[in-house]
Amino acid sequence: MTEHLPVLIIAVPLLAAFVLPIVRILGVIPRDIFVFSVFVAVNVMLMSLIPDICIYNKTLHYVLGAASPSTLTPEGLAFPIRIVLKIDGFSLLMAVFSAIVGLVGFLYSHKFVPEDGRKNYYVILLLLMLVGMIGLEFTNDLFNFFVFLEILSISCAALVAFRTNQKHPPYAGYKYLLVSSLATSFFLLGVGLCYAQYGSFNMDYINRMLNHSLLDRVALVFMIIPLAMKAGAVPMHMWVADTYSEAPAPVTAMLVTASQASLYGVFRLSFTLFGNSTANISINYHTLGWIIIILGVLSMFIGVTMALVQHDVKRLMAFHSVSQTGYMLLGVGVGIAVYAGHDGGAAFHQYGKLAMTGGIFHIINNSMYKGLLFLTAGVMVRRFGTANLDRMIGMAHRDVFTTIAFIVGALAIAGIPPFSGFASKLIIFESVYHFNPFLSVIAMFVSVLTLASFLKVFYGAFLGPERKDLLVDNNPLPHGMTAGMGIMCLFILIMGIAPEAVIKYLIDPAIAGLVKIL
Amino acid sequence: MDFLNRFIAQNTGILWYPSLLLGILIILVIVLTVWGRLFFRRDYNKNSPQVKPFNSGNLEEIDYNIASSNLFWGFRKALESYYAVMISSHSGDLNDYLKWLAISIAICFLLIAGGLL
């Protein structure tokens, strides 16, 4: 049974999504119990893989359709012909946090999304979103990656446009769909170029056969740039604010992890597909690293300065998502820039690996605190019926738990100890300083502006006198919403207080799964 | 001590002891609370005008709460030309957005043609 876990983690939510209309016939409560069980089951299955992969440093392979799931190459052939799922430290880390945010998103949605006859579709799309994220994080097959990227894009677009009774969400959903379609079309072009040369979609096989031709580099650009766009990197980030601000709050929290799944694709392709630590490497990793660093620095600065002048709380937070993506790109970009250098990996060992540690640590931190902040924004919009900060005031009198959750999220994103954002930012600042001190200074300045813009939200929405006349919803928060925010707070605090344990058991295995010159 | 080491971020090279800092914070909060209970003013009355903010002028006619959109006005004013470009580029028009994808890919191709990538 345990050898089939890799496929079950994808198949269970996928089948549950299709079975859901039948379960709904039994009633709303059986449906909710069923979906909750599926989310919990996926989390438990993923957690059960942590000892093998993160502690004993194993890599799991699962060959779909083979007589034995571990038979990578069929008899008589020297190359894999079936779809292979490959789970290493990095893919497991990303999948675990995608599943946790998925569970939180469902809990929060329980009463947040009304039972208006369409909630069934909403829950189905949530499950498909989870399938898309975990699928593309697990697969070792390029075409399969494209398929899961499409599943993810379509379910995200439908969820963004879910509130069709309002004016803007359908536009935002359409925008997301068009951006995603174009990005995945370019990605498919890159996949086609690889297949034309090597006759296989298997990433490990292509990596072994890679001759670093001109066509390979063109394929690299066609695959990485669209994924960077889907991750929300500047200058291709403009769609982020338009779509994040119109989606329901729990969907926005999951959109953050969906964007990070695209970021996972950037790092996975840079290292696992095109990475090669041998001496005859011809792709200039220094330039590739600098491209990612420049994208990162622009994302950090433009994201935060645009956030500072927003009056719509969800747009403000969406621009912060762009800014935080910049930190991740900066950390991993420095790792890539010194990877396969002419110094035999000395710079990589001295600070490159640490920069990657910070970048990847920041990915999981961001999924938690950014998700939490979007959930608190959901409460603000629910209370005041608007996302306009000028029309909010005094929430701290009424919603003490939400206020505490917002403070935790805001301090974490600004990099204030003892919350998780501080741990990852400190590692990024320190390691990037060895590479280029100026980059570190920019990163610190951006942190200050981040704190300033969240002070603006705190001042606008939470401080001031209590104004009951402005409230459109004065009911107590449903337990699901409180539980969702509580889980996020807990993770932020734990990862901030015990960063060394997180790095040792989750981040280091993730880097080991990506980089070959350890 | 091995157990304690797990809570210390050693590989950053900087003194960062989250558990120790948290312990100090808890002690500080306890000390401040006890100190406040013992020595702070006792004439505080929650249900009196003393807890209300003091604002001069005719409060009946003006809304004295500053809107959050007015915060950081100086910052925005100082970077007016930067924001003029930035806000116009976030037009909401999908054509504008997608052109940046084409430009980014084109720049990468130029780097390939120039032998830099």
Encode pLDDT of A442-496 as tens digits: 999 999 999 999 999 999 999 888 888 888 988 999 999 999 999 999 999 999 9
Is pLDDT at A74 greater than 70 in this prediction? no
Mean pLDDT of A277-297: 77
Residue A449 lies in a domain: yes
Tokens, residue A391: 């029309």
Q: By C-alpha distance, which of A318, A292, A313 is closest to A303?
A: A318
Residue A488 lies in a domain: yes
Instruction: Note the pLDDT of residue A73.
Output: 66
pTM: 0.90
Nearest-Cα distance to chain A for B29, in Å, is 15
- If one counts the domains in chain A, the total is 1
Nearest-Cα distance to chain A for B50, in Å, is 15
Contacts of A380 (CB under 8 A, 6+ apart): A313, A387, A392, A395, A402, A461
Tokens, residue A98: 């995608």
The answer to whether A305 contacts B104, with C-beta atoms less than 8 Å apart, is no
Cis geometry, peptide bond prior to residue A499 (ω within 30 degrees of 0): no
Mean pLDDT of B65-89: 89
Give me the amino acid identity at A344: G
Per cent of chain A over pLDDT 90 is 68
Cα angle value A492/A493/A499 (rounded, 5°): 85
Residue A380 lies in a domain: yes
In chain B, % helix, strand, coil (3-state, to 5) comes to 60, 0, 40
Residue A174 lies in a domain: no
The answer to whether B18 contacts A417, with C-beta atoms less than 8 Å apart, is yes
Nearest-Cα distance to chain A for B30, in Å, is 18
Instruction: Note the pLDDT of residue A80.
Output: 72
Cα nearest neighbour of A179 on chain B:
B98
Residue A101 lies in a domain: no
Rounded distance, CA A360 to CA A420, Å?
13
Residue A60 lies in a domain: no
- Full domain range(s) for residue A391: 284-518
Instruction: Note the pLDDT of residue A396.
Output: 92
Instruction: Note the pLDDT of residue B57.
Output: 60
Mean pLDDT of A240-250: 93
Q: What is the pLDDT of residues B2-12, one digit of tens each?
A: 554 554 455 55
Instruction: Note the pLDDT of residue A16.
Output: 96
User: Residue B46 — very low, low, confident or very high, per pLDDT cuts 50/70/90?
Assistant: confident
Instruction: Note the pLDDT of residue B1.
Output: 45
**B65 touching A (Cβ < 8 Å):** yes
Q: Please, which residues 91-110 of chain B have a Cβ atom closer than 8 Å to chain A?
A: 92, 94, 96-98, 100-101, 103-105, 108-109
Print burial letters for A55-81: b (CB count within 10 Å at least 16), e (below 16): eeeebbbbbeebeebeebbeeeeebbe
Q: How many CB pairs under 8 A join A and B?
A: 141
What secondary structure, in 3-state letters, does A91-141 show?
A: HHHHHHHHHHHHHHHHHHHHHHCCCCCCHHHHHHHHHHHHHHHHHHHHECE
Residue A277 lies in a domain: no
Count of alpha carbons within 13 angstroms of residue A383, beta-carbon side: 28
**A217 touching B (Cβ < 8 Å):** yes
Q: What is the pLDDT of residues A136-172, one digit of tens each?
A: 999 999 999 999 999 999 999 999 999 988 889 999 9
CB A272 within 8 A of CB A514: yes
Considering chain A, what is the average pLDDT of its residues?
A: 90
Q: What is the pLDDT of residues A185-201, one digit of tens each?
A: 999 999 999 999 999 99
Distance from chain centroid for Cα B5: 31
A195 against A284, higher pLDDT:
A195
Rounded distance, CA A88 to CA A271, Å?
13
Q: By C-alpha distance, which of A330, A374, A122 is closest to A233?
A: A330
Residue A416 lies in a domain: yes
What is the ipTM metric for this complex?
0.88
Which residue of B97, B103, B107 to mutate against A (max A Cβ within 10 Å)? Answer: B97
User: Residue B54 — very low, low, confident or very high, per pLDDT cuts 50/70/90?
Assistant: low
A103 against A72, higher pLDDT:
A103
